[in-house]
Amino acid sequence: MKSILTEQFYFFPDDLKTWPGKVLILQSDDDPATKLEMRLALRNLYPQAHIHTFHQAGHTPFLSQPDEFYPRVWTFLQKTDQKAALF
């Protein structure tokens, strides 16, 4: 039995090419792991996406700003009738 902790997962831009659902992109303006170029590329790849930028939240806004992060996710999911993708 393989552990999810030892699995290698990869995501490619075309993976959501035929995605019928809505997309929520949650990003931080000071994320050291996701530079501005990457954030802009995601916006260009999913122009229909709902985007929220956290300020001074680092790479883990769900930890550094949970009072803002989780309500945004919950609200998005409640408004979404269909499948959704979160980034």
Q: Which of 72, 70, 80, 79 is nearest to 21 (CA)?
A: 80
Task: Give the DSSP letter string of 10-72.
Answer: ---GGGGTT--SEEEEEEETT-SSS-HHHHHHHHHH-TT-EEEEESS-TT-HHHHSHHHHHHH
Model confidence pTM above 0.85: no
- Counting as low any pLDDT under 50, the low residues of the chain are none
How many percent of the chain have pLDDT more than 90? Answer: 49
CB 32 within 8 A of CB 79: no
**Angle 20-24-26 from CA coordinates, rounded to 5°:** 155
